[in-house]
């Protein structure tokens, strides 16, 4: 954990900042191209919270005890755009001299539950922390803000989500810190996953001077391709008019893991070398399985195998040509259709079955994108797609119209490198919402432009990890601290520690290696539960 400022300095900051936590005493930030509408502030005292790593990506679990901070909200607009954006900052009275901005999730830019969990963790370590709603509110779906009228996308709202609010947020946060503490942050960081990961990548690409360090996990970039691809499994099931029971799809996933588990030389319930996995889901057709959810036996259908195969392969056009990547076979195809807590509970091919009738349950990510931003019609649904050719046309329209705005896929990171920035990305190999291969594709394109990419960006693939958290392979909770050590002390993250419990309850300590290296046993027979048994090759 980063050290707080020395006690005498901390005391001076505490005394001055506490008395300054009133809107009348806070200098109004200056933001070119914007009008500040109002500033609110209130002093929060003795704040305590338990922060779970399951929701605070890049960080370990922590306990926050009796923290005093100034809660400031800046509301502003870009004149002529009819937007109203809120930036909220928590400025702890005992400040460690650093800024940590946190990201959003789904279609939410921030200022929602996951942002607040991350902010709790940040103030517990003494960081000033900030989030923005990009003027969109906190609806998981884009319904409230996507269209200004039928057929017309609200381009200002989309631009705010894509990039504009991110640059604004960094300027406002640093201005607030200067005014509140009387000094700028010594170091500034970004931390996020999923949408937060995409935001981090956008910052590196478009606002390279905004942050010294960026932790951008499971980034939702390649938006023009990735986001419509999220609908591929549901569209396929609908066109087939076949919606397999979750037990069938789970059985296929389990069989794939069983066959491909030991390809890396270690049988541990994880597919650590998924590119070597050539499991054929059609080998499961006709197998009788016991469905624990229903307590009855059922037979794996050809339709279930076809859905699994199509989902893993990713969307294709009518000629079978590649459109985008699918998830790896260990990723869950199914998911929770009720009481969903995080996106790691979701899967592309979710169905719900009652009284012998099954229906598709979309995640809403790709389906909503096609509805509001491609069809631009709130009365249209993905169920209106009648052919693969029609789907491919919609997919192409998504890339053609929106990639330059929110694609976040520019592989040229030269400006970020020149600014001295450092970035760490992790992505689970069992991510069922954002295909890991999309991040690998971006890395491979970026390294062609910048051969010394590893000097400032490290990308770690995580066996068994679901979307941001969850799964069987553990979560890389040391990510953010490794970033801080790299930025401030020049400690290059040659590996990241990770641990998980096997299905037998045995604790495994491992290492993650920066792509393209893989964690490999030093010798045959070495203890796979010990990190010291592995080396990056």
Catalytic residue numbers read 194, 431, 467
Give the distance, in angstroms, between the CA of residue 247 and the centroid of all CA atoms in the same chain.
27
Q: What is the DSSP string of 72-109?
A: EEEEEE-TTS---EEEEEEEESS--SEEEEE--BTTB-
Region class of 320: left (phi > 0), else alpha (psi between -120 and 50), else beta: left
Tell me the C-alpha to C-alpha distance, in Å, between residue 74 and each of 41, 310, 478: 9, 46, 32
User: Nearest CA to 444 among 517, 516, 512?
Assistant: 516
Burial of 200-212, coded b for 16+ CB within 10 Å and e otherwise, reads bbbbbbbbbebbb
Choose among 451, 456, 429: nearest CA to 440: 429
Which among 216, 193, 148, 226 has a CA at the least distance from the CA of 406? 226
Beta-bridge mates of residue 510: 498
Structure tokens given for 511: 């290492």
Q: Are 465 and 429 in contact (CB under 8 A)?
A: yes
Look at residues 150, 95, 103, 102 and name the one whose alpha carbon lies nearest to residue 127: 95
Q: How far apart are CA 277 and CA 77, in angstroms?
A: 51
List, in order, residues 6 or more apart from 227 with CB less than 8 Å away: 220, 365, 366, 369, 398
Cβ atoms < 10 Å from Cβ of 63: 11
Specify whether the backbone of 384 is left (phi greater than 0), alpha (psi in -120 to 50) or beta.
alpha
Residue 336 phi/psi, 5-degree rounding, is -75, 125
- State whether the Cα torsion 124-127-130-131 is positive or negative: negative
Encoded tokens for 162: 């894509």
**Which residues are paired to 73 by β-bridges?**
40, 88
Euclidean distance between CA atoms 249 and 182, whole angstroms: 58
DSSP 27: P
- Give the residue among 82, 83, 77, 51 at the shortest CA–CA distance from 64: 51
């Amino acid at each position: 954990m980063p050290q707080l400022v020395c006690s005498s300095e901390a005391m001076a900051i505490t005394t001055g900042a506490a008395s300054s936590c009133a809107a009348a005493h806070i200098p109004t930030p200056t933001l070119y191209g914007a009008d500040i509408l109002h500033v609110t502030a209130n002093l929060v005292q003795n704040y305590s919270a338990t922060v779970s790593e399951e929701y605070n990506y890049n960080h370990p679990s922590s306990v926050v005890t009796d923290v005093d901070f100034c809660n400031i909200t800046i509301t502003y607009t870009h004149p002529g755009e009819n937007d109203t954006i809120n930036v909220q900052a928590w400025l702890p009275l005992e400040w460690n001299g650093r800024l940590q901005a946190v990201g959003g999730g789904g279609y939410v830019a921030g200022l929602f539950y996951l942002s607040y969990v991350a902010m709790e963790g940040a103030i517990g370590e003494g960081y000033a922390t900030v989030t923005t709603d990009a003027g969109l509110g906190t609806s998981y779906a884009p319904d409230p803000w996507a269209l200004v009228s039928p057929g017309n996308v609200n381009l200002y709202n989309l631009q705010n989500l894509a990039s504009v609010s991110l640059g604004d947020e960094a300027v406002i946060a640093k201005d607030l810190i200067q005014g509140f503490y009387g000094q700028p942050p010594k170091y500034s960081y970004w931390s996020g996953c999923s949408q937060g990961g995409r935001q981090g990548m956008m910052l590196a690409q478009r606002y390279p001077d905004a942050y010294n360090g960026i932790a951008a996990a499971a980034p939702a970039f390649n938006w023009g391709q990735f986001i419509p691809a999220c609908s591929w499994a549901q569209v396929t099931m609908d066109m087939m008019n076949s919606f397999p029971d979750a037990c069938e799809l789970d059985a296929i996933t389990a069989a794939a893991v069983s066959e491909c588990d030991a390809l890396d030389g270690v049988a541990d319930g994880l597919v650590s070398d998924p590119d070597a996995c050539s499991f054929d889901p059609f080998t499961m057709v006709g197998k009788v399985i016991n469905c624990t959810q229903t307590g009855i036996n059922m037979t794996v259908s050809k339709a279930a195998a076809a859905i699994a195969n199509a989902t893993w392969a990713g969307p294709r056009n009518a000629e079978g040509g590649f459109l985008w990547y699918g998830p790896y076979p260990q990723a869950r195809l199914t998911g929770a259709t009720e009481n969903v807590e995080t996106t790691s509970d979701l899967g592309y091919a979710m169905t719900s079955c009652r009284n012998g009738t099954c229906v598709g349950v979309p995640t809403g990510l790709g389906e909503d994108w096609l509805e509001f931003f491609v069809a631009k019609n709130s009365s249209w649904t993905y169920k209106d797609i009648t052919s693969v050719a029609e789907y491919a046309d919609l997919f192409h329209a998504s890339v053609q119209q929106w990639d330059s705005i929110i694609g976040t896929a520019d592989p040229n990171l030269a400006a970020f490198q020149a600014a001295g920035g450092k970035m760490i990305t992790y992505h689970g190999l069992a991510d069922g919402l954002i295909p890991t291969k999309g991040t690998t594709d971006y890395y491979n394109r970026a390294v062609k432009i910048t051969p010394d990419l590893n000097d400032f960006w490290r990308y770690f693939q995580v066996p068994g990890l679901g979307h941001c958290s969850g799964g069987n392979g553990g979560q890389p909770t040391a990510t953010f601290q490794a970033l801080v050590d790299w930025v401030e002390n020049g400690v290059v993250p040659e590996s990241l520690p990770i641990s998980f419990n096997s299905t037998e309850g045995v604790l495994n300590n491992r290492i993650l290696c920066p792509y393209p290296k893989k964690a490999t046993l030093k010798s045959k027979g070495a203890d796979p539960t010990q990190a010291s048994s592995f080396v990056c090759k």
